[in-house]
Amino acid sequence: MIDPMAPVPPDQLESVVRGWRALSPRLVSLGRDRPEGTKGIFVNPPATRGSTVLFSSVGAMEQAGHGRYGDELIYGAMGTPIGHRLEQAIATIEGGTHAQLAPSGLAACALPFLAYAKAGEHCLLADSVYGPTRRFAEKVLRRFGVEITYFPPGATEGELRALIQPNTRIIFAESPGSHSFEVLDVPMLGRLAAQTGARLIVDNTWGIGLFSPFAHGAHVSVQALSKYPSGHSDLILGAVTVASEADWRPLRDAAIQAGQVAGPDDCALTLRGLRTMGVRQMQQAATALAVALWLESRPEVARVLHPALPSCPGHEYWKRDFTGASSLFGVVFDAAFTLDDMVAMIDGLSLFGIGASWGGYESLILPTTGGISRQCPSVTQAGPTCRLHIGLEEGAALVADLARGLDGMSAARHRHGPA
């Protein structure tokens, strides 16, 4: 029997889409010119390719070099007109002043460490950060003599204060956490950073458009543009945004020194993706909430890790600080089921793709049991867990697919008995 999806209460639905209702119309014009005088222009700024930039004189070339903190055209590796437009658009969405593109979301996570940390200094990272960010800290930062400590996502202000050292320069947060979805008290982290002189960096990929990092005490915000901004699962790109000149100069220097470049075609596609990001997110967030509520009603499910649901760790911070939700959330199954049970269920689904990444228009599912690597106990250790990304498919069809899968998983458990 397929249990139908109950209608989502209007207030709850509004709570996940209201931010996009406000932002969506503004996305139409970000990073674009308006026609002036008698000259016509294309709606979409063209992808500008180039390496060498020619100047009329040696003096003019030297002059351009001084413009590296702005949008000056100097050399292809130091930015392109289409890249600068995308940077401008991302900085506006994030509420910052300057953005720097990076070739991937991971490169954007690494760049602030390269910009703001050095040997002998200490960085404090949320235990729930994106796995490859943690791998960068472990494999690269430690090798260069940077000390790393992880804090539990639910740490109190007092517990965090005890982890801060005189040489702490960076607090790196991601909210909600990768795979485990704990929402962090970012304003509290911002206060601690301000009191101790550290920089607070937030990976805001899940919260783009819905969480204003700089209004909540962050100095630096990171985006994987490969997700909702580009939105079509066809490119890899990242961005780092700051809100002050003091944070901008070292970031821009590090980007140039480390050769961080974004391809012009990816920039043009991402600018195009931004135009529809609001409507995509509104639709996908609404379907995701309905699917999450339906899953919560199922006997096989122990817990749904969706920041808009009270059962999600840190839900109160989401309610206070976010203006909506994205369409990515987690599910913890009852511990009576094994990982193999869940994997067999996932393999049998027909509307969910199995694969990494998210933010496209298609639904995805991924086993996340145990998280990638955690030091502190994690909600993803309570039973088999998976992560769902809800796309633009019809909600009732997705629920029917999941219902078939869960019914089959329960039936198999009854046939074989508990593990």
Ligand X SMILES: *Cc1c(COP(=O)(O)O)cnc(C)c1O
Chain contacts with ligand X (rule: CB under 6 A): 104-106, 109, 130, 174, 178, 203, 205, 224, 226-227, 236, 238, 357
- Residue 19 backbone dihedrals phi, psi, to 5 degrees: -60, -40
DSSP single-letter state for residue 112: H
Give the residue with the Cβ less far from ligand X, 333 or 358.
Answer: 358
- Residue 182 backbone dihedrals phi, psi, to 5 degrees: -65, 130
Give the residue with the Cβ less far from ligand X, 174 or 300.
Answer: 174
Give the residue with the Cβ less far from ligand X, 177 or 383.
Answer: 177
Give the residue with the Cβ less far from ligand X, 128 or 283.
Answer: 128
CA distance 3 to 401: 11
Tell me if 208 sits within 8 A of 223, measured CB to CB: yes
Find the shortest distance in angstroms from Cβ 388 to ligand X: 14
Find the shortest distance in angstroms from Cβ 367 to ligand X: 16
CA distance 388 to 268: 28
Find the shortest distance in angstroms from Cβ 200 to ligand X: 16
Find the shortest distance in angstroms from Cβ 133 to ligand X: 7
Find the shortest distance in angstroms from Cβ 291 to ligand X: 19
Which CA distances in Å does 357 have to 46, 173, 280, 320, 361?
27, 19, 17, 27, 12
- Cβ neighbours for 56, distance < 8 A, ≥ 6 positions apart: none
CA distance 49 to 35: 22
Find the shortest distance in angstroms from Cβ 106 to ligand X: 4
Find the shortest distance in angstroms from Cβ 205 to ligand X: 4
Return the residue matching tokens 């209201």: 18
Closest Cα partner for 188 from 150, 158, 211, 163?
A: 158
Closest CB to ligand X: residue number: 105
Work out whether strand 98-102 and strand 199-203 pair parallel, antiparallel, or are unpaired: unpaired
Find the shortest distance in angstroms from Cβ 371 to ligand X: 13
CA distance 358 to 352: 12
R_g (Cα) of the chain, nearest Å: 22
CA distance 232 to 107: 20
Find the shortest distance in angstroms from Cβ 225 to ligand X: 7
The β-bridge partners of 136 are: none
Neighbours of 124 (CB within 10 A): 26
- Cβ neighbours for 417, distance < 8 A, ≥ 6 positions apart: none
Neighbours of 345 (CB within 10 A): 24
Give the residue with the Cβ less far from ligand X, 105 or 264.
Answer: 105
